[in-house]
Structure 1
Amino acid sequence: MSRASMHQTPARATYDVVIVGGAMLGSSTAWFLTENPDFDGSVLVIERDPSYGMCSTAHTNSCIRQQFSSALNVRISQFAADFIKNFRAYMGGDTRVPELSIQSYGYLYLADSPAFAEVLRQNQKVQLAEGVATQLLTPDEIARDYPFYRLDDIVLGSINRIDEGYWDGGTVFDWLRRSARERGVEYISNEVVEMSRNAAGDRVETVTLKSGEKIACGQVVNASGPRATRTAAMAGIEIPVEPRKRFTWIFSAERPLDRELPLTIDPSGVHMRQDGPTTYMAGGHADPDPAVDFDDFTMDHGLWQDQVWPTIATRIPQFEAIRVVTEWVGHYAYNTLDQNAIVGPHSQIENFVFLNGFSGHGLQQAPAMGRGTAEYLTYGEFRSLDLSPLGYGRIERGEPVVEKAVI
């Protein structure tokens, strides 16, 4: 069934689970609910844009890494890697589903100060304890493996070449969504504009659609990406999530490199990687990095000219002569407290479930987060992987869960 064929009007007046947002995280949750033999309820996914043209999923760079400073974030990505590499098996062996892999050219963090180098060393200890094959490289070792970098300001590098790089996030999203619908999840093209709570104020009773229908719900999942704050506010909840612009450029080089370019995180924050056989991808953001309107996708052409391209050409002199092929703007659903996801139930409104604030990690974290959210909706607890450290309680207390490896 095509995206355009989504109905606007729900088939029922009551659903056990209403998911607000049908992109990667909402569809992952919906699919894992259908996969859980102990869940037999009804599911409605409400997506305001059936083309998915402006959602974060559509603008992702579709990368995955294991190099996090938090053991939980490492495990979340480890499950994603397994899910991607065994995608057809997870989809029940459906021969329509393609076999997928990860193009593991690795992430290379470059540290230009002793303090940053120490962060990489501490991160590696966490990663090695979780079975990640992270290596620390001296500048000479980086030059040996990747002789095209200028390294006179670099004191240490960190790289992992296993299950780090590019994957086909678009295909995974399409199949999660398609399979969920085939299994009975209802998707509609509409928008939630209001929520009502019960007399005690501890449950959301109904959601009201833009088209006027009022839907009774057992549980509500906020999977609305950069619009998460607006969705939460309908239930009287505040969360520290805002849309922030992230810019991407695809470019070709007059003199292509003689080997694959790892996803290189320059100390400036600009990052770049191999994209195709002869093209490369670069990303960055403005400084300062303000919140923007939900519908603001205006390109900042000066950012490329004044900041990103000079950084690229300085780090890789071979990239002094390059040409932009295409460019786009996407939004991070940026958690201003700690740039980590908010997952699980609200503390007082017990049937309002968060899936928000991923700050650029949402695509790679979607398999584990969808699985965990489906478990919570079914059992009232996380079972496969304890996601409770990322719960709403820390937001309420103002206690960040620090993740030092944020791009």
Structure 2
Amino acid sequence: MTADLQAPNHASYDIVIIGGAIMGSSTAWFLTEQKDFDGRVLVVERDPTYQNSSTMHTNSCMRQQFSNELNVRISQFAADFVKNLRSYMGGDERAPNLSIHNFGYMYLADNEGFANVLRENQKVQLAAGAATKLMTPDDIRRDYPFYNLDDIVLGSINLVDEGFWDGTAVFDCWRRQARERGVEYIRNEVVAMTKNPAGTRIESVTLKSGEVVSCGKVLNASGPRAARTSAMAGIDLPVEPRKRFTWVFSAEKPLDRDLPLTIDPSGVHVREYGGGTYQCGAHTAIDPAVDYDDFAMDHTLWEDHVWPILATRIPQFEAIKVQSEWAGHYAYNTFDQNAIMGPHTDVENFFFLNGFSGHGLQQSPAMGRGTAELLVHGEYRSLDLRPFDYERLVLDRPILEKAII
């Protein structure tokens, strides 16, 4: 066997999950919650340190400000799950009591077209039970006097269940309990798949270490590498790695109150990080797919684009110092920037959990739960997630989500 790779304990599994980061581990844990399921589950993860995974590069925030009602309800379940983590984990005292740091998301519109989008989005959000409120420039100036609002016509914010949460803690709980309940995790990589003669099922997967593993069902939960995984099954998937840059900086004059996760009209976003520090994110104007292993920083982006925008929007950020920086990958769905779930239309036992385009962490509780239900029962039982099923790609029916960051 190749050095450092782990062989599976068995030659056959009911479910093989390719990718053990937040989506794969959420599904694995929720599978153990299905009372009617006692099957064998294998999670194949190429890098158990997860150091370059989207899970570890996330801003770890959640919001309810979406234009699609289902996306709102997905985040509402995430908020409930996080705030009641120990209860969901069966009273396990190792599960921390978590809360959400509700600084909210502040969308800033600099034209009436985008302002109207915010108004329409608010109607959807309020109907779903969110607490979104619209703010005039005077309203914003009153509550957040540090902004320069010369070009702003409207803002939108929600201070209930919207802000930072400890995604790593939830991720750790899922992995630990899933293992304890019998889910097998191995460090390895799926390098090939074999179909039945009719091409309608995956019969086995081949691991990098050489083992051939028979499988009842296969779940693609491989993040930005999702298209590569699907290609092994002869399936084209419109998901590609797009680079996203993050900076953590300190301010010479910290703000006197929490900074909402502010989405500037330029697309640059910045939020409270704690202790007089802030976290900022952006991407280049030309936003191509990148190599799966390309995590190089673009240092000119900060100097020439991001810092000037920050200093203009929040003048107190003219004197700031970068403390850390990194580049991560969005699993970017080029079709409609929303999740791709459910079974393939022809390869019936190949399932997707891909293409979250930057809002995967906050959707992981609902999506893992729904996928586990689908794998075991053949249907979504808690929240109907069928609008996100792969079939919409075949039918050319994109889900239009206007609130993509």
TM category (shorter chain) comes to over 0.9
Q: In the TM superposition, what whole-angstrom CA distance separates every residue of 1:358-390 from its partner, at most 9, and x where no partner exists? A: 000110000000000000001111110011100
Aligned-pair Cα RMSD in Å: 0.8
Give how far 1:103 is off: 0.3
Q: In the TM superposition, what whole-angstrom CA distance separates every residue of 1:19-39 from its partner, at most 9, and x where no partner exists? A: 000000000000000011011
Instruction: Give the equivalent residue in structure 2 for 1:29.
Output: 27
User: Residues 301-316 of structure 1: matches in 2 within 5 Å?
Assistant: 301-316=299-314
1:222 alignment partner AA? N
Instruction: Give the equivalent residue in structure 1 for 2:225.
Output: 227
Q: In the TM superposition, what whole-angstrom CA distance separates every residue of 1:221-251 from its partner, at most 9, and x where no partner exists? A: 0000000000000000001000000000000
2:336 aligned with 1:353: no
CA contact (8 A) 1:239 1:395 kept: no
2:18 aligned with 1:20: yes
Aligned mates of 2:346, 2:5 — CA distance in 1: 33
Instruction: Give the equivalent residue in structure 2 for 1:344.
Output: 342
CA contact (8 A) 1:229 1:238 kept: yes
2:279 alignment partner AA? M
Instruction: Give the equivalent residue in structure 1 for 2:150.
Output: 152
**Long gaps (5+) in structure 2:** none
Give how far 1:200 is off: 1.0
CA contact (8 A) 1:71 1:127 kept: yes
Query: What SS does the corresponding residue of 1:218 show, helix, strand or coil?
Result: strand
Q: In the TM superposition, what whole-angstrom CA distance separates every residue of 1:165-196 from its partner, at most 9, and x where no partner exists? A: 00000111011001100000000000000001
TM-score of the pair, normalised by structure 1: 0.98
* Residues 7-16 or 227-236, more deviating: 7-16
2:169 aligned with 1:171: yes
Query: What SS does the corresponding residue of 1:305 show, helix, strand or coil?
Result: helix
Identity of aligned residues (%): 71
Instruction: Give the equivalent residue in structure 2 for 1:185.
Output: 183
2:385 aligned with 1:373: no
Q: In the TM superposition, what whole-angstrom CA distance separates every residue of 1:249-280 from its partner, at most 9, and x where no partner exists? A: 00000100010000000000000000012100
User: Residues 239-388 of structure 1: matches in 2 within 5 Å?
Assistant: 239-388=237-386
Alignment size in residue pairs: 402
2:137 alignment partner AA? P
Aligned mates of 1:77, 1:120 — CA distance in 2: 18
1:78 alignment partner AA? Q
Aligned mates of 1:209, 1:132 — CA distance in 2: 45
2:129 alignment partner AA? G
TM-score of the pair, normalised by structure 2: 0.99
CA contact (8 A) 2:5 2:209 kept: no
Aligned mates of 2:396, 2:78 — CA distance in 1: 29
1:188 alignment partner AA? I
Instruction: Give the equivalent residue in structure 1 for 2:110.
Output: 112
Give how far 1:354 is off: 0.2
CA contact (8 A) 1:253 1:319 kept: yes
Give how far 1:50 is off: 1.4
Instruction: Give the equivalent residue in structure 1 for 2:84.
Output: 86
Give how far 1:51 is off: 1.1
2:65 alignment partner AA? Q
Query: What SS does the corresponding residue of 2:352 show, helix, strand or coil?
Result: strand
1:215 equivalent among 213, 216, 235 = 213
Aligned mates of 2:134, 2:256 — CA distance in 1: 23
Aligned mates of 2:127, 2:252 — CA distance in 1: 42
Query: What SS does the corresponding residue of 1:57 show, helix, strand or coil?
Result: coil
Give how far 1:398 is off: 2.4
**Long gaps (5+) in structure 1:** 1-5
Aligned mates of 1:333, 1:383 — CA distance in 2: 26
Instruction: Give the equivalent residue in structure 1 for 2:199.
Output: 201
Instruction: Give the equivalent residue in structure 2 for 1:3.
Output: none
2:28 aligned with 1:8: no
Instruction: Give the equivalent residue in structure 2 for 1:41.
Output: 39
Aligned mates of 1:254, 1:227 — CA distance in 2: 40
2:212 alignment partner AA? K
Give how far 1:394 is off: 1.3
CA contact (8 A) 1:338 1:402 kept: yes
CA contact (8 A) 1:26 1:223 kept: yes
Give how far 1:7 is off: 6.7
Aligned mates of 2:196, 2:208 — CA distance in 1: 21
